[in-house]
Structures are given as structure tokens and as C-alpha cells.
Structure 1
């Protein structure tokens, strides 16, 4: 990442923090969070735990205006090159019209105990939802591992099967502008429910990447508790 890009990202994030802090000082702030266990942490179709289970958790502070600050963490396994992912998000979400909503922000992906260059990176994200359909875009000017410009275009659809069961469909295109051969598609479907206040999910996840064990199709079980 060039110095100018670093300064630009730092400026945006500092401004966002200042605006968020100013807003939250004058508004009621809601605190929410969750703790989750998954049988495999698959990020955009690729296992981040060498196909092993992961423990995850998040905390969000949200103001009435829609501004929010979130921290999210997960155990990871990069073959001895890191065991923790810790992300910070600053954003805004809310209704923009009848049946329409939006979510925009900036996110810092951090790997505190990973030492190789380019492991930490910034990403801008945004999505628009109409009822149960969501279209989104994420962009990084220097993605994980110093791979340069990266775009993630995705779509999701949520279907209520019954009062207690839901089915979520997802498809996303990972586009590497500096190396188009690395670009790939990920997709999946997730069945979810809640039993005695515990969230349960069963997901099928896959990519179109060939000859990659960590990118193959997989079934992921999730158990979560929100508070």
C-alpha cells in the first residue's frame, strides 16, 4: 500500500471515528453481542482454520442515528502463521425508503500474532437491501498478502420457511484486479433456527477453485448465543 493510500484510509477512518463518537455522546447507545462456535471458519468460501473448528465472538455499540462500532474476533489457523483474527468496523446502517435499507462502513482486518507482510488490511463495504434481497460490494486497495486491488461483489436472499426456520442463499465474486487468475466465485446456502435461545445453523459452502483442499465444498455447523 502506498503512503498516499495509507494516509487516505487513515483520514477516512479518523473522521468516521470522530463522527461516531460525537453522535453516540448525544444519543442512547445499544450494546449487543454474540458468541459462536463453528465446525469450520470459512471466509468467502475458504477455510481459515485448516478445516478445524473455531470460536468466535463480537460486540457492537449502535446509536439511534444508525452509526455503529463493532469488534469481532475468531480463532484461525494459518499453518503456524497466526491463531487470531481481530476485526474492527465503523459504519452506518438504517432504512433509506419503504422496504429499503443500507449498510456502509470501513473495516480493519487484523491478525495480531501473524508476522508476515500484508496480513493486516483495510476494506470499504456497502450493501443495499430490498425486503429479503441484499446486494453488496466490498473494496480493498491492498488486500490480504499485499495482493493489490480487490473487489467483492455479492448477493444474498433470505427465505422464511416457517416461524422458526430460515434459509439463506449467498453468492459472491472475488475479483483481484492485479491478478485476474486468482479471481474466484464462492456460494452457499444456510439453514438456521433457534432452540431455547440458542441459534443453530447448518451451511453448505463451496467455491469454483480447483485443486484446493481449503476451498472445496464443505458442510459447516454453527451454534451461537446472542446477548
Structure 2
């Protein structure tokens, strides 16, 4: 059985398990969401919007056991080969102790109007957090545009530098089957909340040479959760 088929089977199994658990335990279900405007949509250091603004939003349905189903969308610009990204996630998150927490799941990246072969793909993800430090991994057996096996290793750290102001640090390694395509991405930013809205300003960069979509830039975003 191909890995992609196994991933789809895993997703179906998790759905059944999550719904069964919620039904048996009669746990409360919560619907939440968010809307974000960003000056650029940078995914793992590379602009998905030709360095133009993005309007993004998501919805998540979760229960007290930690299972959740989420959808997330954004406008994109792949040189007329796609204008919409629509992702679906199924996972579980929860506290392991007072200081430790985890988040694991499976995700489908979808580009409904893209003409690029292999634009839709699956990814398994997981992260482990200790207080404000997070280590994570994502894996796809057939990454975007039929790129084959792909692994993403990353670390995030948030540090309160003042009341209601947080320093956000990120570094990630993108590993492809073709090692010449592998690259490092990183960002340094600050974030805060004003009148219920989240504000973020981040410097984003990669070690890719000769690709303007992966060069350094400053990205501003404003978001609202509900």
C-alpha cells in the first residue's frame, strides 16, 4: 500500500475515533475561528502571494478530549497557476503535564484552481512544547508538485520582553529528496494584542540564493480570533 493511501486511511480512522470518543463521553464541542490580514503570505520562508497581501481565515471544531477538525484558507498567487489555498486538518492536542504539551495530526493542502500537477498533497505533523519552546516535525511522502519525500524540522520560541509584547523566534530546515533543493528558513518578530486584535511584525528570510520570493522581507499582520 502506498504511503499516501496509508495517510488517507489514517485520516479516516482518526475521524471515526474522534467522533466515537466524543459520542461516548458526551463531551462539549467548541467552534472557534480567526481572520488575518497579512502584508505577505510567507510559507516556510517563501512568499505564496508574489509578495502581495493576503486575507486568511480558519475554523476549528474541537472537543474536550483534544480532538479537532480545522479548515484554513488564503489567497495565493502562483503566476496564474492558482489563486486559492484551502487546507483541512485533523488532529489531537493536549497537555502532557503542567509544562509539556503536544499537537499531532494529518493535513491536506489543497489548491482547488491550480493547474500545477501534484499541487494537492498530504502531510503528517507533530510538535512537542515545553513552556514557550516548541520543536516540530512535518512529513510528506509526495510533497508539492510531485517533489517526493519532504521533511520539515523546526523550532519556535516566544519570550515576553515587556507587558503584552512578545519576541517570536523561528528556525526551520526544509529537507527534500533532491538535497540541492533543501534550504533553511528563519524569522524574528514581535507580537502584541490591542483591543482584542493580534498584531505582529516579523523579519523573514531563507538561505536560498537567486529567488526573489525567498529573499528577506518584513511582514505585518493583524488578526482577530472568535
Same fold, TM-score > 0.5, yes or no: yes
- 2:4–2:122 contact (8 Å) kept in structure 1: no
Q: 1:46: how far off? A: 0.1
Q: What SS does the corresponding residue of 2:105 show, helix, strand or coil?
A: strand
Structure 2 partner of 1:175: 175
Q: Please list every run of 5 or more consecutive structure 1 residues that lacks an aligned counterpart in the other structure.
A: none
Matched, 1:208 2:207: yes
Please provide the CA RMSD for this pair: 1.0
Match of 1:185 in 2: 184
Q: Does 1:7 align with 2:5?
A: yes
Report deviation, 1:17. 1.1
Alpha-carbon separation, structure 2, partners of 1:103 and 1:210 = 33
When structure 1 is superposed on structure 2, of 42-51 and 191-200 the one drifting more is: 191-200
Length, aligned pairs only: 224
How far is 1:163 from its partner?
A: 2.5
TM-score, structure 1 normalization: 0.96
- For residues 123-158 of structure 1, the C-alpha deviation after alignment (integer angstroms, 9 at most, x for no partner) is 000000011110010000000010000000000101
TM normalised by structure 2 equals 0.97
Matched residues in 1 for 2:111 and 2:21: separation?
29
Contact 2:4/2:142, CA 8 A, preserved across alignment: no
Q: Which residue of 2 aligns with 1:225?
A: 224
Q: What whole-Å deviation, never above 9, does each CA across 1:92-147 have from its counterpart, x for those lacking one?
A: 11111230000000000000011221100000000000111100100000000100
Runs of 4+ in structure 1 deviating by more than 3 angstroms, as ranges, are none
Distance 1:183 1:72 in 2: 26
Q: Deviations over 1:27-62 (max 9, x none)?
A: 101111100000000000000000000000001111
Structure 2 contact 189–202 (Cα < 8 Å) conserved:
yes
Match of 1:90 in 2: 90
Q: Measure, in 2, the Cα distance between the counterparts of 1:46 and 1:21.
A: 36
After TM superposition, give the deviation of residue 194 of structure 1 in Å: 1.0
Pairwise CA distance, 1:21: 1.8
Distance in 2 (CA, whole Å) between partners of 1:76 and 1:48 is 5
* Paired residues for 1:107-186 under 5 Å: 107-176=107-176, 178-186=177-185
Instruction: Name the CA distance, whole Å, in 2 between partners of 1:84 and 1:19.
Output: 31
